[in-house]
A and B are shown apart, each in its own frame.
Chain A
């Protein structure tokens, strides 16, 4: 496969590094030709030293209150960088309210979290650390202190940032840099779209026609050649939470709430308002970010609350036209899909599974 290095200057250094960071030793990491580079903030260029530090932090359970949870606990390389659970489990087996999305290609998303409440991976990385049902650290200062007590970190921070000072911003910058290397655009669907008719099954091909036609998937998950993440980076109410919640009552409740957005986002109930918590705009009530579809086969259960256990269930959900509610996106409607058509769509989704995930096996070993 032809490709261009994301950051040639960065990755050409890898060979010369005596780095323990496993990912930095996988030189085949690349963005396919013609695909835009991921979003990298100007103040946090990706460097091998930051990747190395970020990788170590990502897998380090000491970032949590009781040394049981790391970033990788919920974004596990063995599970498509998600966790296979309906909602995530934090310290003391506490559960949150939202399903862990995959980190693969998260570097391409213009907003992070299901409600898009932050714009960058850096800002994203900071929040789970202090979420009581995730890593549960009492504060960001406590994270800094705890890491400062781990002797091996100072040299890594020194190498990444020029001095050994450990700050929460640096932690986030390093983790985000590592996450920016978790990119995969190599799946049967890509080969099919490049002209290889044999890359996917006939069923999946029928699924592709449905995807772009009758099933209307492409309205939100359409394929864009230069940004083939299969998401429109927008927020839509498809009625997921309407199955169990009354949006109007929730919105009334939240209208008078004084909590900060992240706190509301963690509250059962309020969390279901999704993007509305951030923008307070009516069309965003119950709207959540369109996730990408790559590796969707590996990252069930589905939807922001993990309420759909299988791909078949997801297709059924859309076939019903989502769940009616006053804020249902106007693009949702019953699809009248035949049983065979539903199967074809599921087959298609399996063609979104990357075939280069073996690259991440060294990372998976860090989990054992």
Chain B
């Protein structure tokens, strides 16, 4: 049996050879090599995108059967800002993400902010968030999270960013942004103050709150919105919570996910990009691919049950390293409308989850479960 040392040496040697080869290869060979190396999540490479240091240049990442990358957008999510000065760890992390996105070459078409800008929905927190995000050099698409919402039921957020539910078209793809963190009123009968309500919702493991849902009103709106869209037009949905049922106790869950999915099933290509779960997370239900976003603030452990089997799990994060398990990333939208998801894990090597991997439905090796 090979020792760990030998394995590490072999890995290093493999990588060294790969890089040597990259220096002198044509584009075709490059892409073959890229695919191989991306599979082991190897970093750095020729003509590399400056923040990625991944061997695959993202703009050309997916030249496979399904077609080349048509465009990409970046994401920053779950910053959970406190208005406690610019040296607060979460503020520094959010600024790091903004710098990452600004350094992308070529720049992404836009940036999605995945919700939970603030920690407790306070004006100061949201203002600070707006200020940090205003440093972005590309257009910003905002999504709301429960941490932004439940102090004033979205008043301040709407003042700053407008309506949270909207759709738009970009390069042949129909985008929809939902507010999936609607909760049934649990606070009135308990006589809760707005802050008590906020703190309750902010607690992941707080059983007092109700479960997230998109709600009937939005589902009707969604059905109407999509009625105008041709079934072969790629659809990408942004939702803060995963639009499926993963783990109810932590609201890694959308109560009416099944009904929302039903609205999306008729479309040829659907991708849901969600926040909230702070972890590498991938799922596939029929025609719908689901990808989680990383948080800039902290990673969450996987829930004790319900993890979709195709998810490549991240290892336990090192609590001694603020950035470990955190990050930002991009989504490469291909000409066929499918998406390759890129997790820019800050203190680890980045990971690409290619559409082929998702579509294969292959179970990922079981990861650490704590």
Contacts and interface: CB of A to CB of B under 8 A. Distances in A.
- Establish whether A and B are touching in the complex (CB under 8 Å): yes
Interface of A: 219, 248, 251-252, 255-256, 258, 276, 278-283, 285, 321, 326, 329-331, 333-334
A27 B145 CA distance: 69
Nearest to A283: B347
A126 B308 CA distance: 52
Contacts of A321: 87
Interface string B60-87: 0000000000000000000000000001
B19 interface: yes
Contact of B46 (A256, A276, A283, A285): A256
B146 interface: no
A44 B176 CA distance: 66
B19 A280 contact: yes
B99 A326 contact: yes
Contact of A331 (B44, B46, B50, B320): B320
Looking at B23, B87, B92, which has the most chain A CB atoms within 10 Å of its CB? B92
Interface residues of B, number: 35
B335 interface: no
A256 B23 contact: yes
Given A251-B53, A258-B23, A326-B51, A280 B15 contact: yes
A283 B350 CA distance: 9
A280 B43 CA distance: 6
Given A280-B19, A280-B42, A330 B53 contact: no
A321 B92 CA distance: 12
Given A255-B46, A330-B318, A331-B322, 9 more contacts: A252-B48, A255-B44, A255-B53, A256-B47, A279-B43, A282-B349, A326-B103, A329-B323, A333-B322
Given A326-B103, A331-B321, A255 B347 contact: no
Contacts of B96: 326
SS class of chain B's interface: helix, strand, loop or mixed? Answer: loop
B220 interface: no
A252 B347 CA distance: 19
A280 B44 contact: yes
Contacts of B103: 248, 326
Contacts of B356: none
Query: Which 3 residue pairs are nearest across A and B when measured between Cβ atoms?
Result: A330-B323, A330-B321, A330-B322
Contacts, number: 76
Interface string B156-195: 0000000000000000000000000000000000000000
A251 B19 CA distance: 14
A125 B124 CA distance: 58
Contacts of B46: 255-256
Looking at A329, A330, A333, which has the most chain B CB atoms within 10 Å of its CB? A330
A274 to B, nearest CB: 13
Contact of B44 (A281, A326, A334): A281
Contacts of B48: 251-252, 255
Contacts of B15: 279-280
Nearest to A257: B23
Contacts of B23: 256, 258
Contacts of B100: 326
Contacts of B53: 251, 255, 280-282, 285
B44 A329 contact: no
A304 B268 CA distance: 55
B152 interface: no
Contacts of A256: 23, 46-47
A330 B345 CA distance: 12
A12 B326 CA distance: 55
A284 to B, nearest CB: 8
Contacts of B89: 333
Contacts of A219: 320
A99 to B, nearest CB: 25
Contact of B346 (A330, A331, A334): A330
